[in-house]
Amino acid sequence: MQSRLAPLFLAFLLLAAGCSRQQADRAGAPAVDDARLCAAASEPQSWLTHGGTYAEAHYSALERIDTDNVAQLGLAWSFDLETERGVQATPLVADGVLYVTAPWSVVYALDAATGALRWHFDPEVPRSHARLLCCGVSNRGVALYDGKVYVGTLDGRLVALDAATGQPVWETLTVDPGWPYSITGAPRAVEGKIIIGNAGADFGVRGYVSAYDARTGELVWRTYTVPGNPADGFETPAMERAARTWTGEWWRTGGGGTVWDAMAYDPELRLLYVGTGNGSPYPRWLRSPDGGDNLYLASILALRPDTGEQVWHYQTTPAETWDYTATQSIILADLELDGRVRRVLMQAPKNGFFYLIDRETGEFLSAAPFVEVNWASGFDASGRPIETDVDYRHEAKLVKPSPLGGHSWEPMSYSPRTGLVYLPALEMGSLVKMDPEWRYERERYNSALDVSVFTRFGADAGAGGGDEGQLIAWDPRRQRAAWRVSHVTGGSGGTLATAGDLVFQASADGRFVAYRATDGHRLWESPLGTGSGGGPVSYLVGDEQYVAVAAGWGSSFAMSASEAARRAGVRGGGRVLAYRLGGTAPLPAPKHPPLGPVPAPSFRVEASEEQRLQGTTLFHLHCSTCHGALAVGGGSGIPDLRYASEATHAAFADIVLGGLRIAAGMPSFADRLDAEQTRWIQAWILQRAADSAARE
């Protein structure tokens, strides 16, 4: 939007039906209502919703910190979160208070000027739930509305807290506990309702998004993203249409399509946009044996916020088969295209293409690859991707991007000043092969990919095709990169674009960096004392502009990033850091001393080559989601098992089968592994340690 149009546009928005004013009913709590959320762009001193405004551009209109003075930026305060595990949250700021979440869905309210703790709320998620999580115990943030703070918990609850005190006001279970659901995404407040999705498609669940009454916690609507068993009848015409694109008995494994992250809202069109996730299991040949597009997997759905009714859909990856979720950031903007201003929706989902969609109609406008893509060669006139040879039923195929995605949960940002989208990308391929032995088990990781590809292609092949993190400034009108910065290490955090023509991002090896938005020139950086993080935000307290980020390493996946984090001494811990011009607060020491090279292990376990090979497969089935692929620890507080001491190895079976460390988040595997298999895993870990020690 042109800035001179903004006041007019705002006035119009305030008239829109979704933007009415309400009275706050709680003394001392921020009075965030529909009117304030709709006008969030005119209140840059705050950060009222996940993406800053309903358009989710992660853009701050503040310009006091700019390209000329950013070199004087210094730490104003920091606050150490009580965690060892991956921080992915984007904080919210209203009326001088910063609200942020830590792993295990814990909420903190901090004084935005000093970092002093106002209150803290721990929903006490049972630690046993860790086994039902694909990707760690992360949480991406809260919603603010009606004097309350809303958080979704890992075990599927939606909790409303009094924003002034942190005391629970209401709580409701949003999932069937008989299925392996979880919540990691931030709720959104829209038209008096709190919108929340869930995760779990890697284990096998049926995706949906729900709306709860913000005041009472009562369910207002629930919209499924994939059809259930036809014998039970269809909830909506959209589900009936979707069912025609599925075959076999998909509902037995849930189907997938979880709404685990991105949402956006257009109050003028009164459309709520949500992105849907991957299929359960991944290989389409198992999920829907006689073909079909499997609607609405990997799709963007436009819904009516008052009823949840589906207005349009666009499927980014028909018959999704590589974990290519379309849950990545959705940004709404008005762009001039071919001489005409179009209301667009932008997304860079995992599948590697950057999309422009007409957000009123769902019409496909254009798409282009932002990383190397080999699963599709382009698009037909209707906006359908043209697939290449993708059949990985019988032999391993190198697919690009990898199932980690060309872009994942890390928020991207858009500056209306430069017209560029700042996209944290991962250039990486992966070998995929279907597991011919796979059988659905409800509490297991049900990707149905053959993890033994790791064994056969070895540690040094990485995951089969490099692993390079990039910050890409994408020009959506021309559908090409304006500039790119390659990170030394894979992976990096979410981005913030500001009216000071700066882009902020936390790097995997533990630096907070400011780039010039126009050309990517690095203007400033400062150590975080921990790893990469969620979306940075900016706000004012009085006249002072702050930039804050919640950081902490926690991904157990991107291997080179984990290795680089380890080498950089960035390990464990999570913290919120706030910066201002002339800030001089000291950076607290990292929580853990850096790990040196992997020591050669002295412990011995008898196992044959064949048994160690079995051990690799079992490790990647049961352990790698937390301890890292190929046992390269993610730099988080979860131990890198190659460093395990002699005493730990002596207690290995007690830890893995006996539940010795269950309180610290290490599950017991007594129901899945026997003593013999546990020994094979241990033997393989010892061999990995010896190999790493020999190389370093």
> C-beta of 656: minimal distance to ligand HEC in Å?
5
Least CB distance from residue 171 to ligand HEC, whole Å? Answer: 24
Q: What is the CA radius of gyration of the chain?
A: 24
Q: Among 667, 687, 688, 689, which residue interacts with ligand HEC (rule: CB under 6 A)?
A: 667
Computed from CA positions of residues 520, 521, 522, 523, in that sequence, does the dihedral angle turn out positive or negative? Answer: negative
Residue 638 in the binding site for ligand HEC (CB under 6 A):
yes
d(CA 385, CA 652): 48
Query: What are 112-119's contacts with CB under 8 Å, separation 24+?
Result: 112/539, 112/541, 112/546, 112/548, 112/578, 113/76, 113/77, 113/541, 113/542, 113/544, 113/546, 114/77, 115/76, 115/77, 115/78, 115/79, 115/576, 115/578, 117/79, 118/166, 119/165, 119/166
Q: How far is CA 70 from CA 205, 355, 546, in A?
A: 46, 32, 12
| Dihedral angle sign, alpha carbons of residues 670, 675, 679, 681 | negative
Q: Of the listed pieces 139-147, 232-240, 249-257, 636-644, which binds ligand HEC according to CB under 6 A?
A: 636-644
The number of C-alpha atoms within 13 Å of 92 and in the hemisphere containing its C-beta is 32
Cβ proximity to ligand HEC, 421 vs 641, nearer residue: 641
Contacting ligand HEC (CB under 6 A), which of 276, 278, 505, 625? Answer: 625
Nearest approach in angstroms of CB 507 to ligand HEC is: 24
Is 644 in contact with 685 (CB distance < 8 Å)? yes
- State which residue, 195 or 686, has the beta carbon closest to ligand HEC: 686
For ligand HEC, the closer of residues 267 and 639 by Cβ is 639
CB of 105 to ligand HEC, least distance (A): 15
Q: Which of 627, 642, 679, 688 binds ligand HEC (CB under 6 A)?
A: 627
Closest CB 125 distance from ligand HEC, rounded Å: 12
102 binding ligand HEC? (CB under 6 A): no
According to CB under 6 A, which one of 322, 652, 680, 684 is a site residue for ligand HEC?
Answer: 652
The site for ligand HEC, by CB under 6 A, has a size of 22
Site string for ligand HEC, 115-154 (x = CB under 6 A): ---------------xx-----------------------
Q: Which is nearer to ligand HEC, 426 or 623 (CB)?
A: 623
Q: How far is the CB of 685 from ligand HEC (least distance, A)?
A: 7
**What's the CA gap between 501 and 538, in Å, rounded?**
13
**Contact stretch for ligand HEC (CB under 6 A) within 96-104, 340-348, 458-466, 644-652:** 644-652
Q: How far is the CB of 651 from ligand HEC (least distance, A)?
A: 8
Q: Can you tell me which of 661, 670, 690, 691 binds ligand HEC, judged by CB under 6 A?
A: 661
Window of 268-276, 318-326, 491-499, 637-645 that interacts with ligand HEC by CB under 6 A: 637-645
Q: How far apart are CA 383 and CA 364, in angstroms?
A: 6
Residue 8: CB partners within 8 Å, gap ≥ 6?
none
The reply on whether position 88 binds ligand HEC by CB under 6 A is no
**Binding of ligand HEC at residue 679 (CB under 6 A)?**
no
Q: Which of 215, 350, 511, 622 binds ligand HEC (CB under 6 A)?
A: 622
Residue from 20, 479, 518, 648 touching ligand HEC (CB under 6 A): that is: 648
Give the nearest distance from C-beta 626 to ligand HEC in angstroms. Answer: 3
Interface region with ligand HEC, contact rule CB under 6 A, candidates 40-48, 223-231, 424-432, 648-656:
648-656
The least distance separating ligand HEC from the CB of residue 269, rounded to whole angstroms, comes to 41
Among positions 13, 100, 655, 686, the unique one binding ligand HEC when judged by CB under 6 A: 655
> Per CB under 6 A, does 595 bind ligand HEC?
no
- Report how far residue 459's alpha carbon sits from residue 457's, in angstroms, rounded to the nearest whole number: 7
From 44, 180, 192, 639, residue interacting with ligand HEC (rule: CB under 6 A): 639
Q: How far apart are CA 586 and CA 74, in angstroms?
A: 9
Task: Please name the amino acid found at residue 164.
Answer: A
Min dist CB 684 to ligand HEC, Å, is: 10
Which residues lie closer than 8 Å to 459 by C-beta, 6 or more apart?
A: 630, 688, 691
Q: Which is nearer to ligand HEC, 109 or 626 (CB)?
A: 626
**End-to-end CA distance of the chain, in Å?**
53
500 touches ligand HEC (CB under 6 A) = no
Among 656, 683, 686, 689, binds ligand HEC (CB under 6 A): 656
Name residues whose C-beta falls within 8 Å of residue 7's C-beta, 6 or more positions apart in sequence.
none
Structure tokens at 626: 């937390």
Give the whole-angstrom CA distance, residue 385 versus residue 180.
Answer: 31
Determine the Cα–Cα distance for residues 518 and 524; give it in Å rounded to an integer.
15
Residues 495/59, Cβ–Cβ less than 8 Å:
no
Distance CA 694, CA 696 (A): 6
CB of 666 to ligand HEC, least distance (A): 3
* 623 is a site residue for ligand HEC (CB under 6 A): yes
Contact segment (CB under 6 A) with ligand HEC among 40-48, 270-278, 522-530, 650-658 equals 650-658
Residue 34 amino acid letter: D
How many Å apart are CA 363 and CA 358, to the nearest integer? 5
Peptide bond into 401 cis (omega under 30): yes
CB closer to ligand HEC, 627 vs 688: 627
* Closest CB to ligand HEC among residues 15, 650: 650
Task: Write down the least CB distance from residue 564 to ligand HEC, Å.
Answer: 21
Closest to ligand HEC by CB, 552 or 583: 552
The answer to whether 511 touches 471, Cβ cutoff 8 Å, is no
Q: CB of 654: closest distance to ligand HEC in angstroms? A: 9
CB of 257 to ligand HEC, least distance (A): 24
How far is CA 683 from each of CA 238, 244, 452, 535, rounded to the nearest angstrom? 51, 49, 16, 40
Site residues (CB under 6 A) for ligand HEC? Answer: 130-131, 622-623, 625-627, 638-639, 641, 644, 648, 652, 655-656, 661, 664-667, 669, 681
